Amino acid sequence: MKKTLARAMCAAAVAVLPLQMTGQAQQEVAATIRSGPPPFPTPEQYSSSARAQEHIAEAMRMAGTDLVAEATAFCTPTGPQRPALAAQQAGLEPAPERQLEPIRMFENLYYVGFSDVGAWVIATSDGIILFDALNSADEARDVLVPGLQKVDLDPAQIKYLIIGHGHNDHTGGGKYIQDTYGPTVIMGGPDWDTHLASTRADRPPMKRGLDASDGQTITVGDTTVTLMLTPGHTPGTIAMLLPVKHNGETHTALIMSGSQMRDRPSLVAFEHVFNDFAKVQNAGTMLGGHADILMNKLPQMEALGKQYPTGDHPLLFAPEKFSRYMDIMAECGRSRLAALEDAGII
């Protein structure tokens, strides 16, 4: 239980695409992101802000009849939260964390880990791209590595380890993976700085690898993924676009490592990712390392683990619908920022 509560407090070739922030712009955005937990308006501040209510109304208009539940979840004082954190804030006991069997989310994408947090495994024609590394060396050794082996993947073929953000439930197993299998490790520069400066005896740091850049592409075999900067949850949080395969067709998934737009520069970064990358690549789903925040709800994930679908995929939206999903997420982010500004908090 202590581990669950602690976690609840946190959420080949290299090239650069033409649609991206300049290096100077990246530095300016990172420099403006405040440190510490993202501020949220109180329910009273949120409901009393006329500007916030205007943004909520616009999000509900965008939702039409098919995204009402999503708009309702995003347009709250905090936005969607991990169930363990929401329960803790409500004074309730969080549900016990459970180790899950590896889940085949798409034909080339697996989720390995727990009911609360996991790692993403991308199988390519020439090795593995791993996104996140669980909470500790023990979990990397005893959960992540056996999980790969259960789906007939060889952990020695991990070519890249990409860390979504620098909190320990994503970095904890990184040193074990780095030392044991020798992949190239990529993380946002500000989170590398924090990771290396805040070491503890029971959490030895990874060796610094590459700093992620906005629009950076990573190619392993037949698969190219795109990294983007989404500062907010932490200054160095990143997102990733990747091709996912289902029933003989290739779609685009957006993996987010944080969804908080903590100030206006953070909002601009998210808008840039949604408009200049995800929409351009016709993305159709948004997944997170923590279940129940974005589109990967735990019941759907466990259903996929029991039976991979032969028909429509439950986590895929048509590009037009997914475009509205992202627009709603951004509009609800604007609503929280408006409430915080009206209350004089930011």
**What Rg value do the Cα atoms of the chain yield, rounded?**
19
Tens digits of residue pLDDT in 255-273: 999 999 999 999 999 999 9
Task: For residue 213, give both structure tokens.
Answer: 């850049």
Task: Tell me how crowded residue 92 is: count the other CB atoms within 10 A of its CB.
Answer: 11
Domains within the chain, CATH numbers bracketed: 12-40+78-82+97-315 (3.60.15.10)
DSSP secondary structure letters along 127-191:
EEEEE---SSHHHIIIIIHHHHHHTT--GGGEEEEE-SSSSHHHHTTHHHHHHHH--EEEEEHHH
H or E element in which residue 46 lies: helix 43-48
pLDDT at 101: 98
pLDDT at 28: 45
Q: Do the Cβ atoms of 184 and 209 come closer than 8 Å? A: yes
Distance CA 126, CA 122 (A): 11
Q: Do the Cβ atoms of 324 and 63 come closer than 8 Å? A: yes
Q: Taking each helix axis as running N to C, give the angle between helix 264-273 and helix 23-32, from 0 to 180 degrees, rounded to the nearest 10.
A: 140
Distance CA 236, CA 39 (A): 17
Tens digits of residue pLDDT in 134-165: 999 999 999 999 999 999 999 999 999 999 99
pLDDT at 4: 43
Q: How does pLDDT run along the chain (346 residues), one tens digit per residue?
A: 444 434 443 433 333 333 444 444 444 444 444 455 568 999 999 999 999 999 999 999 999 999 999 999 999 999 998 888 778 877 888 888 999 999 999 999 999 999 999 999 999 999 999 999 999 999 999 999 999 999 999 999 999 999 999 999 999 999 999 999 999 999 999 999 999 998 788 889 999 999 999 999 999 999 999 999 999 999 999 999 999 999 999 999 999 999 999 999 999 999 999 999 999 999 999 999 999 999 999 999 999 999 999 999 999 999 999 999 999 999 999 999 999 999 999 9
Distance CA 65, CA 115 (A): 30
pLDDT at 228: 98
H or E element in which residue 250 lies: strand 249-256
